[in-house]
């Protein structure tokens, strides 16, 4: 259960104060699939950074599975990101010098796992996204869709309570993007909580709910119907 209560984020740029988020409140229950939408400048990114524990709200309370994380220090936040949040970025953000397997191992490494166990868990995560045969390639040697699947494997390798996807299809063609969304559908069907940030309505509609932001505030929350995404979409894994 994720709960945002009266979240406000204010940046001060010299004498000017910019109110990026203004009194945002909503809940996301476990296993939910929520899209955050809004035009650029609406506060999507800021909200994503706060939900992802990359940033702290100026005021308000953010609780993640009952724990108030809005007041944690840097090290505690790093710990939360490591254990409970998996990130999927628009630019994939794989480390070019590491192999595919090495990239997926990184969260496990920061969690303090030993080499053998890391490799086992990372390999299993890669198998879940259908990339068992690409483990020893470098990111430069695989396609964009495959890169994003590696990123998803990396995001879920520590069994997080939340997967946070920021425009995950933004750098992909529509077919490959569809494959990625299908993987997210499948993960959600398996019980993963997913928050997807996008400006694309058709992508956002994969979720059960859409949180529409405007000028740093929640404009409306659309309920697209419980179970709408669950079990839907093609099987993924065979489309590489």
Partner 1 sequence: MGIAETIGVALRNLWANKLRTALSVLGIVIGVASVITMISAGSSAQKQITSDISALGSNMIMVTPNLKPGTQGRNYQHLLTMSLADQIQAAAPAVSAVSPVAQMEGRIIAGGSSASAVITGITPAYTRIVSTRIALGRSLIQSEIDAAAHSIVLGAEAATDLFGSEDPIGRHVALVSGDHRAPFTVVGVTESKGALLWTNADTQAFIPVTTLLYRMSPIKRVSTYFCQASSAQAADVAVAQVERFLASVAGTPDAFSVASQASLIDAIKQVTATMTLLLGTIAGISLIVGGIGIMNTLLTSVAERTREIGVRKSLGACNRDILLQFLSEALVLSMLGGTVGMLLGWLGGAGIARIAGWPVSVDLSSVVAAVSFSTAVGLIFGTYPALQASRMDPVQALRYE
Q: Which residues bind to partner 1, rule: CB under 8 A?
A: 49, 52, 54-55, 74-75, 78-79, 81-83, 87, 89, 93, 95, 97-98, 106-107, 109-112, 115, 154, 158
Q: Which residues contact 131 (CB under 8 A, 6 or more apart)?
A: 100, 146, 149, 150, 153, 240
Q: CA-CA distance, 106 to 89, in Å (whole number)?
A: 16
Nearer to partner 1, 102 or 178 (CB): 102
β-pair partners for 163: 86, 194
Nearer to partner 1, 12 or 174 (CB): 12
Provide the token pair at 70: 């809005």
Nearer to partner 1, 133 or 141 (CB): 141
Query: What minimum distance in Å lies between the beta carbon of 179 and partner 1?
Result: 23
Query: What minimum distance in Å lies between the beta carbon of 201 and partner 1?
Result: 25
Query: What minimum distance in Å lies between the beta carbon of 68 and partner 1?
Result: 19
What are the start-end ranges of the E strands in 65-174? 67-68, 85-88, 162-166
Cβ proximity of 70 and 214 under 8 Å: no
Nearer to partner 1, 48 or 182 (CB): 48
Query: What minimum distance in Å lies between the beta carbon of 150 and partner 1?
Result: 13
């Amino acid at each position: 259960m994720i709960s945002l209560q009266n979240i406000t984020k204010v940046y001060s740029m010299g004498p000017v104060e910019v109110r990026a988020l203004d009194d945002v409140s909503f809940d996301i229950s476990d296993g939910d699939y929520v899209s955050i939408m809004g035009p650029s400048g609406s506060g999507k990114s800021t909200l994503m950074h706060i939900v992802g524990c990359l940033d702290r709200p100026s005021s308000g309370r953010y609780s993640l599975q009952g724990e108030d994380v809005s007041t944690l220090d840097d090290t505690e936040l790093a710990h939360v990101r490591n254990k409970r949040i998996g990130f999927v970025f628009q630019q994939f953000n794989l480390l070019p010098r590491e192999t595919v397997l090495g990239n997926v191992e990184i969260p496990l490494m920061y969690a303090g796992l030993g080499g053998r166990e890391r490799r086992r868990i990372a390999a299993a995560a890669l198998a879940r996204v259908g990339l068992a045969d690409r483990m020893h390639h470098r990111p430069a040697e695989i396609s964009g869709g495959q890169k994003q699947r590696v990123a998803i494997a990396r995001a879920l390798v520590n069994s997080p309570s939340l997967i946070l996807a920021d425009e995950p299809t933004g750098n992909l063609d529509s077919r490959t993007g569809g494959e990625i969304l299908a993987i997210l559908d499948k993960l959600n069907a398996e019980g993963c909580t997913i928050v997807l940030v996008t400006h694309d309505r058709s992508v956002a509609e994969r979720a059960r709910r859409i949180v529409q932001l405007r000028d740093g505030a929640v404009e409306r929350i659309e309920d697209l119907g419980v179970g709408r995404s669950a079990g839907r979409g093609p099987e993924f894994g065979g489309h590489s």
